A and B are shown apart, each in its own frame.
Chain A
Amino acid sequence: MRMVFALLLALFATPLAAQTALPPAPWADRQIPNAAQERKAKALMETIRCLTCQSQSIADSNASMAGDMRSQIRERIMAGEQPEAIRAWLVSRYGDWVSYEPTAAPILWPLWAAPLFLLALGLLLMRGQIKRRKGR
């Protein structure tokens, strides 16, 4: 009977456990003491999208989820992980959308090619203009 009571108590207490079991975000707004590591973490945070806000990076968001992600990133950097590995981990978890840094995925090739194409087109047009004008 006492066992059942204890079990019941434990069951009712689960929300409490969940409360404390939620990963606290100790490093959300706390800098890594090592300045070089903090710089690395910060640079990465600036390229990770806050999933619950309006086009902001997690480096400038008040959202609690952004805080959790900042904390995660700082902890992983302190554990010696490379920023690109952390990004890959975040992308595998949340999808490409989470990274502002466009990847080299084929769907993004036109995005990278567009500026070159525009510049080449513009220069071609301009060169043609001036040459023709000169020839006159």
Chain B
Amino acid sequence: MIAEAGLAALWLAAALALLQLFLAFAGLKGGKSELLAAVRPAAVAQGVLTAIAFGLLITLFIRSDMSVLLVVTNSHSMKPWLYKFAGTWGNHEGSMLLWVTVMGVAGAAVALFERALRRDTHMATLGGQAAISLGFYAFLLFSSNPFARIDPPPPDGQGLNPLLQDPGLAFHPPTLYLGYVGLSVAFSFAIGALLTRQVDAAFARAMRPWVLAAWILLTLGITAGSYWAYYELGWGGWWFWDPVENASLMPWLAATALLHSVTVLATRDALRAWTVMLAVIAFSMSMVGTFLVRSGILTSVHAFAVDPERGSFILALLAIYIGGALALFGWRIGSVREGAPFELVSRETLLVVNNLLLSVILGIVLIGTLYPLMTEAFGHKVSVGAPYFDRIAGPIALTLMIALATGPLVRWRRDRAAAVGKRLMVPFAVAILATVSVAILAWGRIGILPFCGLVIAFAVGAASIAPLWKRNLLRTPLFTWGMVIAHLGCAVSLAGMACNSAFTVEKLVAARPGDTIQTAGWSLRFVQIKPIAGDNWTALQADVQVDRGGAPVLIHPQSRFFASPPTTTSEAALLTRWNGQLYVVLGEEVEGGRWQLRIWWKPFVTLIWLGGILIALGGALALVGRERRGWLMKWRARRAFA
């Protein structure tokens, strides 16, 4: 019954989306406010129904209902509770249901909480949201039904890919999807504004919190995914330029650009057309990413099933929505007035530089990701990976960091170059100091890109806190704090990346129990190896006693064997210290009772993800800071009314 109820909820939600679309556009066209009055309730009901459908699928997974095909192919009754729950979205159909649910809930949130937007634009936005939802309902219901039954039900399921059986699965996909699909709201806002021809500062102020919220979650999702890959894959890499990672990076780049251009539009009423364009591009990138991941044209841990029919379906959706949005843009943008003019030396110019560089990086990532597919069509298989992206996107990203350091120190409208130069004196001095110290300490050990990265990280770190100088910190607005912390996060993350790539010490050994290994100031004693058992796995576990002059600590790298499906994974042992991480992996047994151990000392590697968290935190502060005034006013009004 649960599966049928879930399917019914989905169909009903799809029908409501159709109704919502009709009500919004018929109402707007005919100026009938009785039709428009029903749009918001329809959006809310749609959100509730998708949430119910999703909740029911979770229930099926937790109950291990083996009469449901999806549960059979992706779950197992012996799996721990957490992975039964999180396994709901660890497969194609479940993750598409999550996608649709996020879209429905985001639409409901826009219906419930958006108050600043002009009414007609609000209605057109909800209509737009319904229009994109419809395509994905169709995809789910016609080619990826998560509630399909199987008859007769098998005794047990086939289990979940053990690489995914990690607490990361409970956090990374939902957060990422909230951000990824949350960008659909920005897309719908753009559609709404184009339809009602309201591309102005008020529109930008209304759109900003939605963009910010999606961007925060996307940042957290990517950060979590990177850390998960880092500890799970067992080789100490934190970014692989895997097409699927690129698929999440591209919307993030577009959203980051959008976040800055929407501020220009909100503050100075400039960059109108460009901001709308970016809002369209951001969610388009989410859809392109989904196409790449779900169509099976790429092989990846994220590509659950290779199915050309699904691929063509998503490609059709892509063509309709992106093509449609761009056509609407082309048709309507002529009627959007030019924004306010601005001077060469102004914060606006630096924000345009930010947008330019982010867009170029986005273009590089997009082209680099798609290029192998294009050459394959000509019968030539090539690989585009880290060497290309590092070499091309790296220097542009570093240039972007310099713009990031400068931007907040330049005034809106117009500034004097000499005054800006004066404000940049301290960061510049820090850069020189860092250049000299890094050169003295690490000459010959550090590549050119990590070197520049480290120096720029120090300079940006100093510049990012500069807006707080000589200010009363308690009276500094929260959104200024947000900007400062997010920019500081970029510097922190960059420093982590540079340190990791320049100073990592690797040691590969074959050791017997009892042996002691010395590396990077650490002493590791391989105590013993013993079998242990978990819920649905058995493992060989090494006990390794490590110390660096202080009290020894015991760490336990494991090699795990899962029976269903039969897979071996290695669980790295990580020891975090303030100045880095010790990363130990147990490999295979080699001749003579010796075991492969892979040991890395990674100085300051944790800064990479700490920076990511700071960036998201900065976003959250900016969001609260901007919105608090509105909330306070509403709360006071409500109290006065009561």
A residues in contact (CB < 8 Å) with B: 29-31, 42, 46-47, 49, 54-57, 59-62, 95-103, 105, 107-108, 111, 114-115, 118-119, 122-123, 126, 129-130, 133-134, 136
Contacts and interface: CB of A to CB of B under 8 A. Distances in A.
Contacts of B342: 130, 133
A108 B382 contact: yes
B327 interface: no
A61 B233 CA distance: 8
Interface of B: 233-237, 240-244, 298-301, 341-344, 349, 352-353, 356, 359-360, 363-364, 367-368, 371, 375, 378, 380-388, 392, 396, 506-508, 510, 570, 587, 596, 598
B386 A60 contact: no
A91 B383 CA distance: 11
Given A96-B383, A98-B383, A133-B342, A115 B507 contact: no
Contacts of B240: 55-57, 60
A30 B507 CA distance: 8
5 contacts: A29-B598, A101-B388, A107-B382, A123-B356, A130-B349
Given A54-B242, A55-B243, A130-B344, A31 B508 contact: yes
A134 B114 CA distance: 37
A59 B235 CA distance: 8
A101 B237 CA distance: 18
A55 B299 contact: yes
Contacts of B396: 115, 119
A100 B300 contact: no
Q: Which 10 A-B pairs have the closest CB atoms?
A: A60-B235, A100-B385, A133-B341, A97-B381, A55-B242, A122-B356, A101-B387, A118-B363, A118-B360, A29-B508
Contacts of B298: 55
B352 A126 contact: yes
Given A47-B387, A101-B387, A107 B378 contact: yes
Contacts of A99: 383
Contacts of A47: 385-387
Contacts of A54: 242, 299-301
A57 B239 CA distance: 12
A119 B341 contact: no
B385 A30 contact: no
B363 A62 contact: no
B259 to A, nearest CB: 18
A60 B237 contact: yes
Contacts of A97: 381-383
B343 A49 contact: no
A57 B385 contact: yes
Contacts of A111: 367-368, 371, 384, 388
Given A54-B242, A105-B380, A115-B396, 17 more contacts: A29-B508, A29-B598, A31-B507, A47-B387, A55-B244, A55-B300, A57-B240, A61-B235, A95-B381, A98-B383, A100-B387, A102-B388, A107-B382, A108-B375, A111-B368, A114-B363, A118-B359
A42 B375 CA distance: 28
B360 A102 contact: no
Nearest to A120: B360
Contact of B382 (A60, A102, A129): A102
A81 to B, nearest CB: 20
A136 B338 CA distance: 13
B384 A100 contact: yes
A93 B385 CA distance: 20
A29 B235 contact: no
A94 B136 CA distance: 40
Nearest to A99: B383
A61 to B, nearest CB: 7
Most chain A Cβ neighbours within 10 Å, of B242, B360, B375: B360
